[in-house]
Amino acid sequence: MNIMGILTATLIVGAVGIFVGLFLGLAGIFFRVQVDEREEKVLSALPGNNCGGCGYAGCSNLASAIVKGEAPANACPVGGDKVGRKIAEIMGVNAEDSTRMVAFVHCQGDCDKAEQDYDYTGIEDCRMLQFVPNGGPKTCNNGCLGYGTCVKECPFDAIRVVNGVAVVDKDACKACGKCIAVCPKHLITLIPYDAKQVVACSSTQKGPDTIKACRVGCIGCGICVRNCEHDAVKVEDFHAVIDHEKCIGCGICEEKCPKKAIINNSKEKNDAFAG
């Protein structure tokens, strides 16, 4: 083998390597994207769950939005006030107090209280039941199906199916919204952590139909509305709705509700996860 040929090939390969290295180095300098150092600090302050509860694709996207002024410092529902204040300090802005929100399943029609039209045997995924008669075996078209699709989606182990109805552990919930997005019956909403009275029903059927379907369903009778002195309750589509900004937690609506569709959601009442 010609030694000169080997040396020549080695020199060529080495020269190409040096050229490519220099080219990539210069390209990195000229085409480098300037990143605000605050973005990295904000990202490190975020919990890193990438749950999407803030409305952005992940924590890095949220960090970028906060630095650009497109999102508030307390936009992360998982981090809460503690993270919000830390990010506000990084950004040099005043930290705004935020109301802690938690998910709530507006249904208590469990296996003992709700009627069923038939027995269902099949894929245990709530989203699949839209293809079966009546949208599921329960007589109430708006009732929790109880197959735990929300449980599987929750990244914080904050939901459990108890006797056929999903229940949220308000202390574990981070308000990421994944359970809300996946529920085909739209039974789950975010409510203030400190909310006392909550309507635990989503039925929009007329009173007589609701009575046939569930023993604890809201019949839209309006007794709660007439007894509330703070204009915090109204009836829409045969269904009571509580305005938590107006509600003072006096409990009169819960006391007067003839179907017990309004319940106390205080911490001591969150017993489903205690057992």
**C-alpha span between 60 and 40 (Å, rounded):** 9
Residues of the domain holding 138: 103-190
- pTM of the complete model: 0.78
Question: Has residue 136 been placed in a domain?
Answer: yes
pLDDT in tens, 100-130: 899 999 999 999 999 999 999 888 999 998 8
**C-alpha span between 164 and 157 (Å, rounded):** 17
Instruction: Please check whether residues 203 and 171 belong to one and the same domain.
Output: no
- Answer whether 42's CB lies under 8 Å from 84's CB: no
Query: Confidence band (pLDDT; 50, 70, 90) for 237?
Result: very high
Domain count, the chain: 3
Question: Has residue 47 been placed in a domain?
Answer: yes
Least confident of 37-41, 137-141, 161-165, 265-269: 265-269
Strand partners for 198? 263
Instruction: Please check whether residues 186 and 220 belong to one and the same domain.
Output: no
Instruction: Please check whether residues 80 and 121 belong to one and the same domain.
Output: no
Does the pLDDT at position 269 exceed 50?
A: no
Final residue in a domain of this structure, among 190, 214, 233: 190
Q: Average pLDDT for residues 186-201, to the nearest whole number?
A: 94
Query: Confidence band (pLDDT; 50, 70, 90) for 249?
Result: very high
Instruction: Please check whether residues 200 and 143 belong to one and the same domain.
Output: no
Report the CATH number at residue 186.
Answer: 3.30.70.20
Which amino acid would we find at residue 86? K
- Answer whether 160's CB lies under 8 Å from 150's CB: no
Instruction: Please check whether residues 110 and 87 belong to one and the same domain.
Output: no
More confident of the two residues 24 and 165: 165
Report the CATH number at residue 87.
Answer: 1.10.15.40
Q: How many helices (H) and strands (E) does the chain have?
A: 9, 8
Question: Has residue 153 been placed in a domain?
Answer: yes
Question: Has residue 48 been placed in a domain?
Answer: yes
Start-to-end CA span in the chain (Å): 82
Question: Has residue 82 been placed in a domain?
Answer: yes
